[in-house]
Amino acid sequence: MFIGVALVLGVSLGVSLAAPPGPITAMIVDRSMTSVLKGFMIGMGAMSADFTLMIITLGFRSAIDLGFYDGYIFLIGGIFFILLSVGVLRSRYSDNIKSSGKNMNYFSGLLLGLVNPMQIAWWFTAGLSVFQRFGIEPFYFLFMGIVLWVAFLTYAINRSVVKYGKKLAEGIKLFSFVILLSFGLVFIYYGINLFLK
């Protein structure tokens, strides 16, 4: 595959993985209100989870059947996201936007990614399909797409809150809460259905 084609395909895949609204995006948005760095580190933690899932998917693609564990994956992910939604709703916005960078939440992003059924499903469906069709080359650039998207999102959210203040921050917090709670409930619903089949 030509390097230019691999670059475009890989970056596009990275954005397709990172950009859709979901639990990870909600947490990035929530953390970015107070610090670009905190939001970015959530994204980098989630990207590390993607790297881990990529290794598992590509390295053991013919030996692993996760079908038996789908119910557990959805239930654990759902419970985790509901707990996160409660934490977001209880958090308080500070007019002091600047942050020291402590508690940057890299490991929170990593854990979010590892228990996110959407992320797991992406790698074992779309990710595996792309690998089988185009080989490994696009994946060299996939993480570039993720980094570019997370950097853009965190900066845009933070600058918007700095400019428009507390009302926007409260709206973003409510948005993050609703997204996390909704996905949590949907994941639990899917998990229970899988166990009842």
pLDDT at 62: 60
Each residue's pLDDT tens digit, 6-46: 888 888 888 877 877 778 888 888 888 888 999 999 999 99
d(CA 48, CA 100): 23
pLDDT at 191: 85
Q: Going by C-beta distance under 8 Å and a sequence separation of 6 or more, which residues neighbour residue 66?
A: 73, 120, 124
Please give the model's pTM, rounded to 2 decimal places: 0.74
d(CA 121, CA 110): 16
Q: Tell which residue, 154, 196, 182, has the closest CA to residue 29.
A: 154
d(CA 46, CA 41): 8
User: Is the CB of residue 170 less than 8 Å from the CB of residue 92?
Assistant: no
Each residue's pLDDT tens digit, 143-187: 999 999 999 989 988 888 878 777 777 777 787 788 778 878 988
pLDDT at 151: 94
> 135 or 62, which is more confident?
135
d(CA 113, CA 23): 9
User: Is the CB of residue 173 less than 8 Å from the CB of residue 33?
Assistant: yes
Total number of domains constituting the chain: 1
Q: Cα Rg for the chain, rounded, in angstroms? A: 17
Mean pLDDT (whole number) for 129-141? 83
Q: Tell which residue, 46, 51, 57, has the closest CA to residue 128.
A: 57
User: Is the CB of residue 118 less than 8 Å from the CB of residue 22?
Assistant: yes
Question: Could you tell me the residue range of the domain that residue 184 belongs to?
Answer: 3-196
DSSP string, 98-127: -----S--HHHHHHHHHT-HHHHHHIIIII
Each residue's pLDDT tens digit, 91-124: 665 544 444 344 458 998 999 899 888 788 888 7
User: Is the CB of residue 136 less than 8 Å from the CB of residue 58?
Assistant: yes
